[in-house]
A and B are shown apart, each in its own frame.
Chain A
């Protein structure tokens, strides 16, 4: 068994999703190589070398990989994949973008968004927005797998001492280019890795009212999320969205405020350890999954909560 994990990074830092992907790789058993392809990404490669359980770090330093363009990265990974039994990446927008290109070029299936590794060729993945769990077995010579980060406990980012090997860049694609990025700047923890998440729904009424949620989030050092209804209504940007069509989160504590609990939303947060629901409608479906339910008007409950914490 030889496993290649594709590291997600911003050239200076390895992203936490990589640590969860390595955890999934470790369940397969076998040597794990971690690819860091980027530009001026020596720091990310140094991070990668310290990750627990890594045999080798493959470093590819070339301007073509600076922004992780799917066309370029997939050519590189397809070339490296020969000789490996498994190629893994996080099922983030990074991994989802280029991994199917790798699978298609290798003429193998991709197994998307796995939440459990049963054996070297058998995986569990959610279908129908998490309303069913499918166990699938692959007979392809190379298994191309994307991993749902929240389903695997991250391996330690420290303690490893892998060798860094420099690998040359592959042929270039050249017919696509990076224009720009608009990243949401926030002092808060990142939604998918936060220990506490507090989300608002349509019940918030407008975007301005999200400041009530911010006040509570400040006290709990929480990330802020939203239901699709709140995003569709234009209260907050789409990258706040928790749900099947948004982000999948599984924090220690999830607080749902003014969220009715559509199946779509539940699919994105029901693996949270403790769920709190605050809603004035006592029949809201969110209460069926909440460990602690408070039937209250959020406009009085949120300020009280911020005060009490």
Chain B
């Protein structure tokens, strides 16, 4: 079974982002970048399938500038077999990303595609679902548990009230939630080995996919800040304030 994993290069989750003074976006110059944490969980899940003898090959795919090769190399250091970069300097919306991933899926014919449920930069939570729709495949989103069967799989999903389990015929798309697994760290010898693994670069322009953004960003601003309130000295003081000042209890 072949598994495709999509990995996105995003601002590292530990970075406190800053909005640009001209309100055109978020400052990305000299900011530490990393693999999207949900995609790291996707890579880990694929690796576990391979270790369990269920997956034969894992291909990491990224979309974007040549810098995304770093993200693919990282996925290969974790253990994916090879990588594909669909290269473009155009900023990609989820619909365009899904269309490019569809092109890769049609070339590679995987049985399963795993993606993070959302990227922590645009927080869209769309690409996996869109890809599944474009391929006309079933989907298991926000997965917290995945069980492979014969030509099918069961996915336990994190939903608002608890958990839901669905059965999907393969091929299928799965998007990961936090509790699916705990990703491993890349070991130094593997980082060295990853440099020798094959990484194909496809020019996005050659795919014929229209990447033109559908949305225009008019402005990006910092959210309104809350001001720190007061310190209370005791529980009794707190209850008094909540009753008589804030009037919320």
Chain A residues close to B by CB (< 8 Å): 67, 69-71, 74, 92-94, 96-105, 107-113, 122, 126-140, 173, 175-184, 190, 192, 196, 220, 228, 231-232, 237-239, 244-245, 247, 252-253, 263, 270, 273-276, 287-296, 301, 304-305, 308-309
Contacts and interface: CB of A to CB of B under 8 A. Distances in A.
Q: Closest 3 CB pairs between A and B?
A: A100-B129, A291-B229, A176-B138
B88 interface: no
Contacts of B62: none
A139 B214 CA distance: 6
A104 B223 contact: no
Contacts of A276: 238, 242
Contact of A175 (B169, B178, B238): B169
Contacts of A253: 242, 246, 248-249
A88 B165 CA distance: 25
A131 B16 contact: yes
Contact of B163 (A102, A181, A196): A181
Contacts of B178: 228, 232, 238, 245
Interface stretch (B68-76, B93-101, B197-205): B93-101
Give the interface centre of B122, B166, B246 by most chain A CB atoms within 10 Å: B166
Given A100-B125, A101-B130, 5 more contacts: A100-B128, A101-B133, A110-B94, A132-B17, A132-B223
B216 interface: yes
Contacts, number: 244
Contacts of B242: 253, 274, 276, 292
A81 to B, nearest CB: 13
A182 B163 contact: yes
Contacts of B217: 134-136
21 contacts: A67-B164, A70-B129, A100-B94, A105-B133, A109-B215, A113-B125, A128-B11, A131-B223, A132-B17, A135-B218, A135-B221, A177-B167, A178-B167, A180-B164, A183-B162, A192-B160, A239-B161, A245-B178, A294-B235, A308-B239, A309-B239
Interface of B: 11, 16-17, 19, 26, 93-95, 98, 120-134, 137-139, 141-142, 144, 154, 157-169, 172, 177-179, 214-223, 226, 228-232, 234-239, 241-242, 246, 248-249
A51 to B, nearest CB: 20
B138 A175 contact: yes
B132 A301 contact: no
Interface of A is mostly: mixed
Contacts of A183: 161-163
B229 A290 contact: yes
B247 to A, nearest CB: 9
A153 B130 CA distance: 30
A114 B165 CA distance: 28
Nearest to B161: A183
B223 A126 contact: yes
A194 B228 CA distance: 24
Contacts of A136: 215-218
A273 B226 CA distance: 10
B163 A132 contact: no
B142 A100 contact: no
Contacts of A289: 226, 228
Contacts of A103: 95, 126, 130
A129 B120 CA distance: 7
Contacts of A74: 133
A130 B223 contact: yes
Given A103-B130, A109-B95, A291-B230, A138 B165 contact: no
A134 B26 CA distance: 10
Contacts of B172: 176
B249 to A, nearest CB: 6
A237 B238 CA distance: 29
